[in-house]
Structure 1
Amino acid sequence: MKLVVAVSMSLDGVVQSPAGPGEDRSNGFGEGGWLVPVFDDEVGAFIGAGFATADALLVGRGTFDLLADHWPKLTPEEDPGSVLMNSLPRYVVGTPSKPVEWAGTTVLDGDAVDEVRRLKEMPGRDLLVQGSPGLIQTLLSADLVDELRLAVAPVLLGSGKRLFGDGTVPTGLELVEGSTSPSGVVLCLYRPAGPVRHGSWMLGEDSTDSTGSAASG
């Protein structure tokens, strides 16, 4: 399977509690629900496209706790999305805070990197990662991420859990698709593109990047 990270984030990289004030108040976060006012049809279609090719979900313990406290309680009449969320197989890295009663859930007990490598070798389409910023850092550092689907909202939050914080491994990215929704959300699909390339516009400094090719500018 292909490993795809799908995340909604603020312009300053915060991914905490996009869906509502009560989603995740940890560490005193008080800006929950920041994605809702800018969630238009194009944002919905972009997020839906990520789920359309998913054959399984992969989440960290914290994100699983949030999902498990929400989706199993909903009926298709209350939220049509519950059909997909409750039917997709899901894999959890780390031990959930409560006994797992959500059907279709598998807790991965071994080393996270080894377990995800094993999952990627299974037949299927996409293994979709939701939320889980800590897990995403681990997956990026192990070179296991095949695509990043980012919905970047036009808002600055200042604090909260960030997708790319301290410890992020330097990585070059290729922009495969990009657009902006009517509400101003930037919708981007990236793929890893090897090491970060370097150059210089400073006089007297080497103007070639790490691959040996001349830097532009």
Structure 2
Amino acid sequence: MGNKRKLVLFISTSLDGYIATKDESLDWLFKVDGEGDNGYSEFYETVDTILFGKRTYDWVMKQGIKELPYKHKECYVFTSSPLDDKEDVKFVNEDAISFTNKLINQEGRNIWVVGGRELLHSFIKVKLVDEFIIKVAPILLGSGIPLFKEGGYQLNLSLKGVRNFNQFVELHYVVKK
């Protein structure tokens, strides 16, 4: 068996730690000068599986796209409601931790936690996330949806690297286990 798959968060945030405004807008993110795709394509090639919470999936689908932009990747959406799978996504109505542990133990590339905050929090609480790749934008939102939820955990991290993409700074951390 090859290397163990990793569960990785790859996300952008404001300098004050928000991933979106209170009305779930990301408009602020596109006003910051980046460089190319800010490392997205490079990261995207390292994953073959993508995980969403239902709210994040619904938000993505409300953006006027006809299909998920994650071609040729296994996409799973965790939901408490039984839903029929679609061509490009499977809806999971079971415990996210158990299901994700099964995925981690299968052959494959890394697994990307796209969001949302509740799903990420459940993974952090049980120390399931292996790496955090966070793009920090030079903007203070003052309020909004914070990247991390309060409560009941502490993770010790080790800095793997820092890169900049024009005005964005990428912080890459590995979780000390």
Q: Aligning the two structures, in what range does the TM-score lie when normalised by the shorter sequence? A: 0.7 to 0.9
SS at match of 2:9: strand
- Aligned mate of 1:138, from 112, 119, 122: 122
CA RMSD of aligned residues (A): 2.4
Where does 1:105-184 land on structure 2 (aligned, <5 Å)? 105-167=89-151, 169-183=153-167
Aligned counterparts of 2:52 and 2:144: Cα–Cα separation in 1: 19
Post-superposition offset of 1:66:
2.0
Report which of the two structures shows the higher radius of gyration computed on alpha carbons.
Answer: 1
Aligned counterparts of 1:168 and 1:147: Cα–Cα separation in 2: 19
- Aligned mate of 1:66, from 59, 62, 67: 59
Post-superposition offset of 1:3:
0.8
Amino acid at match of 1:38: V
Aligned counterparts of 2:99 and 2:138: Cα–Cα separation in 1: 36
Aligned counterparts of 1:161 and 1:35: Cα–Cα separation in 2: 13
C-alpha contact 1:61 1:96 (8 A) present in aligned 2: no
Aligned counterparts of 1:100 and 1:10: Cα–Cα separation in 2: 35
- Does residue 16 (structure 1) correspond to residue 20 (structure 2)? The answer is yes
Q: 1:115 to 1:30 in 2, by over 3 A?
A: closer
Aligned counterparts of 1:107 and 1:125: Cα–Cα separation in 2: 20
- Does residue 191 (structure 1) correspond to residue 174 (structure 2)? The answer is yes
Post-superposition offset of 1:95:
4.0
Q: Report which structure shows greater RCO (CA 8 Å, sep ≥6).
A: 2
Note the residue ranges of structure 2 that are not aligned, 5 or more in a row: none
Aligned counterparts of 1:121 and 1:71: Cα–Cα separation in 2: 35
C-alpha contact 1:15 1:131 (8 A) present in aligned 2: no
- Aligned mate of 1:46, from 39, 44, 50: 39
Q: 1:103 to 1:68 in 2, by over 3 A?
A: farther
Give 1 or 2: higher helix fraction: 1
Give the total of aligned pairs. Answer: 173
Aligned counterparts of 1:30 and 1:130: Cα–Cα separation in 2: 15
Give 1 or 2: higher strand fraction: 2
Q: 1:3 to 1:33 in 2, by over 3 A?
A: same
Q: What do the CA deviations read for 1:150-205 (whole angstroms, capped 9, x no partner)?
A: 0011111121111123116211111101022222x1111111124xxxxxxxxxxx
Aligned counterparts of 1:125 and 1:182: Cα–Cα separation in 2: 29
- Aligned mate of 1:55, from 48, 59, 66: 48
- The alignment-based identity, stated in percent, is 27
C-alpha contact 1:31 1:157 (8 A) present in aligned 2: no
